[in-house]
A and B are shown apart, each in its own frame.
Chain A
Amino acid sequence: MGDIFTAASVTSSGRPVLVENEVECNLLSNVDLEPEDGTANSFVTLKSGVLILTTHRLLWLSSAKAVGIPLSSITHIFSSKRSIKSVFHSPRFRFQVSAAVITVVVRGKGDWEVFLTKLWECWRARAWEETTTSVVVSRESTSSGSGVGSGSGGFYGSDGSVRMVGVAGILRKEQQLWESTDKSLQDAFQDLNALMNKAKEMVLLAEKMRQKLLSTSNSTNQDEMGSKEEMQDWLLSVGIASPVTKESAGALYHQQLSSQLADFVRIPLERAGGMISLIDIYCLFNRARGTELISPEDLFQACSLWEKFDVPVMLRKFDSGVMVIQNKAHSDEEVFARLRTLVAKPEALRTGISASDAAMTLGIAPAMAKEHLLTAESKGFLCRDISPDGFRFYVNLFPEISPNDLYLVKDHGIYGAWIRAASVSG
Chain B
Amino acid sequence: MQRLGDFKLPAFFNYPPYFTLQPVRETREKQVQLWKELILDYCRTQKIFVIGLEEEFPLFSNLVIERSLSNEAREAFLSALVSEGRAEWLDKGHRKCLILWHRIQDWADLILSFVKENGLEDSVMTVEEIRSGIESRGTELQGMDRTVLMRALKVLENKGKLAIFKGTSADDEGVKFSI
| A residues apposed to B, CB below 8 Å | 352, 377-378, 380, 383-388, 392, 394, 396-399, 401, 403, 406-407, 409, 415, 418-419, 422, 426
Confirm or deny: B8 has a beta carbon within 8 angstroms of a beta carbon on chain A. yes
Contacting A at CB under 8 A, from B10-38, are 10-12, 14-17, 19-20, 22-24, 26-27, 30-31, 33-34, 37-38
Q: A384-B22, A392-B16 are in contact. Are A398 and B31 (CB under 8 A)?
A: yes
Q: Could you list 24 A-B pairs, sorted by A, with CB under 8 Å?
A: A352-B16, A377-B23, A380-B26, A380-B27, A383-B20, A383-B24, A384-B23, A385-B17, A386-B20, A387-B19, A394-B16, A394-B17, A396-B27, A401-B34, A403-B34, A406-B37, A406-B38, A406-B41, A409-B11, A415-B11, A418-B15, A422-B14, A426-B14, A426-B64
Confirm or deny: B55 has a beta carbon within 8 angstroms of a beta carbon on chain A. no
Nearest-Cβ distance from residue A198 to partner chain B, whole angstroms: 54
Nearest-Cβ distance from residue A406 to partner chain B, whole angstroms: 4
What residues of chain A lie closer than 8 Å to B8, measured between beta carbons? 407
Known: A377-B24, A385-B67. 13 other contacts (CB 8 A): A352-B16, A380-B24, A383-B17, A383-B24, A387-B66, A397-B17, A398-B17, A398-B34, A403-B34, A409-B11, A415-B11, A422-B15, A426-B64
The answer to whether A384 touches B17 (Cβ under 8 A) is yes
**CA A294 – CA B144 in complex, angstroms?**
74
Partner pick for B11 among A377, A392, A394, A407, CB 8 A cutoff: A407
What residues of chain A lie closer than 8 Å to B31, measured between beta carbons? 383, 398
Contacting A at CB under 8 A, from B30-60, are 30-31, 33-34, 37-38, 41
What residues of chain B lie closer than 8 Å to A387, measured between beta carbons? 16, 19-20, 66-67
**CA A394 – CA B19 in complex, angstroms?**
12
Prevailing SS type, chain A contact patch? mixed
| B residues apposed to A, CB below 8 Å | 8, 10-12, 14-17, 19-20, 22-24, 26-27, 30-31, 33-34, 37-38, 41, 64, 66-67
The answer to whether B27 touches A398 (Cβ under 8 A) is yes
What residues of chain A lie closer than 8 Å to B66, measured between beta carbons? 387-388
The answer to whether B14 touches A385 (Cβ under 8 A) is no
What residues of chain A lie closer than 8 Å to B41, measured between beta carbons? 406
Q: A383-B27, A384-B23 are in contact. Are A403 and B15 (CB under 8 A)?
A: no
Nearest-Cβ distance from residue A384 to partner chain B, whole angstroms: 6
The answer to whether B12 touches A397 (Cβ under 8 A) is yes
Closest to A419 in B: B11
What residues of chain A lie closer than 8 Å to B27, measured between beta carbons? 377, 380, 383, 396, 398
The answer to whether B23 touches A407 (Cβ under 8 A) is no
Nearest-Cβ distance from residue A338 to partner chain B, whole angstroms: 20
**CA A282 – CA B166 in complex, angstroms?**
81
**CA A396 – CA B12 in complex, angstroms?**
11
Closest to B33 in A: A403
The answer to whether B64 touches A384 (Cβ under 8 A) is no
Nearest-Cβ distance from residue A311 to partner chain B, whole angstroms: 33
Top 7 A-B pairs, shortest CB-CB distance: A385-B16, A398-B30, A406-B10, A383-B17, A403-B33, A385-B17, A386-B20
What residues of chain B lie closer than 8 Å to A418, measured between beta carbons? 15
The answer to whether B16 touches A397 (Cβ under 8 A) is no
What residues of chain B lie closer than 8 Å to A386, measured between beta carbons? 20
What residues of chain A lie closer than 8 Å to B14, measured between beta carbons? 422, 426
The answer to whether B22 touches A407 (Cβ under 8 A) is no
What residues of chain A lie closer than 8 Å to B33, measured between beta carbons? 403
What residues of chain A lie closer than 8 Å to B34, measured between beta carbons? 398, 401, 403, 406
Nearest-Cβ distance from residue A370 to partner chain B, whole angstroms: 14
What residues of chain B lie closer than 8 Å to A406, measured between beta carbons? 10, 12, 34, 37-38, 41
Closest to A386 in B: B20
Nearest-Cβ distance from residue B126 to partner chain A, whole angstroms: 38
Q: A383-B22, A406-B37 are in contact. Are A401 and B16 (CB under 8 A)?
A: no
